[in-house]
Chain A
Amino acid sequence: MKKELMEILVCPVCKGPLQLDIAKEKEGEIIAGSLFCQKCDHTYPIQDAIPNLLPPNLEG
């Protein structure tokens, strides 16, 4: 996921802001990390450079 895409991302449930935590980055792309929604108290993982923004009831 390109770092600049953070500008358009929100929590899929409450549409509130997300806090980015980068675990692995390569050439401006976030390979692993997480996106945290404070309001929902939920963490959305970023794995293989793809953010998992499925609502919590659909995570598998």
Chain B
Amino acid sequence: MTKLKVSAFNSMASEYDSWFEEDRGKLIFAIEVQALQQVLSPLPKPWLEIGVGSGRFAQALGIENGLDPSIELLKIARNRGINTFLGIGEKTPFESETFGTALLIITLCFVDSSPKTLVEANRLLKNGGKLVSGLVLRESPWGEIYELKKEIGHHFYKHAAFYNYAEVEMLLTQAGFSIEKVISTLFQKPDKVEHIEPPQQGFSPGAGFTVIVAGKN
């Protein structure tokens, strides 16, 4: 991750984290957590979240370890009880075959190199390990909104690169993973999120949040 990108997250750490406290933020977060919970419980421990940020997802999901290049976000994550490490997904500071499950929750869009990050995640996983990706896909109504925000120079999204489902599938395959399960949620439109909604099995281009579980080959 470039210094510029890290600096954006460091300087806006409180603003980023406080989004989760707003009514709309709380609801979206709850919908996304529900989808992730549906796949996580049987997955092998220990767990590592790459791009843990302020530790909101890690705390809600019981993820013990978190890596992130933003020190200001990591300080918040540490206060949430996460084992925190300052570092980047492309070059992590962990022994090979350390973790049972690695998670990339709304992170693949922000890393400098998705292929390197995924190959590195593969290295960190034990045999039988799983990679869980939580994604806003480009073909979804939410992806379209974020693409627009990127174009107008939004302080976070200008640094993002959103992928479509086929691109993610290809990236995962090239990094040595096989997709085992897909969950879709957040079918409400970005300007009209009003209620909690149950996640659905399989990929759907209408979903604002997609969870992909992939196994290490």
CB-defined interface of B90-128 with A at 8 Å, one 1/0 digit per residue?
011111101000000000000000000000000000000
In Å, the complex CA distance between A40 and B83 comes to: 25
Q: How far is the CB of B120 from chain A (nearest CB, A)?
A: 10
CB-defined interface of B72-100 with A at 8 Å, one 1/0 digit per residue?
00110010000111111001111110100
Interchain CB contact under 8 A, A60 and B3:
yes
Interface size in chain B (residues, C-beta < 8 A): 22
CB-defined interface of A1-44 with B at 8 Å, one 1/0 digit per residue?
11001011111110100000000000000000000000000001
CB-CB under 8 A from B91, the residues of chain A are 12-13, 55
CB-defined interface of B164-195 with A at 8 Å, one 1/0 digit per residue?
00000000000000000000000000000000
In Å, the complex CA distance between A58 and B98 comes to: 24
B10 nearest CB neighbor, chain A only: A60
Question: Contacts A1-B83, A10-B95, A11-B93 hold; do A50 and B3 have CB atoms under 8 A apart?
Answer: no
In Å, the complex CA distance between A2 and B75 comes to: 15
Question: Contacts A49-B78, A54-B69 hold; do A2 and B3 have CB atoms under 8 A apart?
Answer: no
CB-CB under 8 A from A53, the residues of chain B are 85-87, 93
Interchain CB contact under 8 A, A12 and B6:
no
Main secondary structure of the interface of B (DSSP, over half): mixed
> Size class of A's contact patch?
20 to 34
CB-CB under 8 A from B7, the residues of chain A are 60
Q: How far is the CB of B75 from chain A (nearest CB, A)?
A: 7
In Å, the complex CA distance between A52 and B67 comes to: 10
Interchain CB contact under 8 A, B78 and A12:
no
If A12-B87, A54-B88 are given as contacts, then 5 extra A-B residue pairs at C-beta distance below 8 Å, sorted by A number, are: A9-B95, A11-B93, A12-B91, A53-B86, A54-B86
**CB<8 Å pairs between A and B, sample of 10:** A5-B83, A8-B95, A9-B94, A10-B95, A48-B75, A48-B78, A51-B85, A54-B69, A54-B87, A58-B3
Binding site for A on B (CB under 8 A): 1, 3, 6-7, 69, 71, 74-75, 78, 83-88, 91-96, 98
Q: Shortest 9 CB-CB distances between A and B: which pairs?
A: A53-B93, A53-B87, A12-B93, A12-B91, A52-B86, A8-B98, A55-B91, A8-B95, A50-B84
Binding site for B on A (CB under 8 A): 1-2, 5, 7-13, 15, 44, 48-55, 58, 60
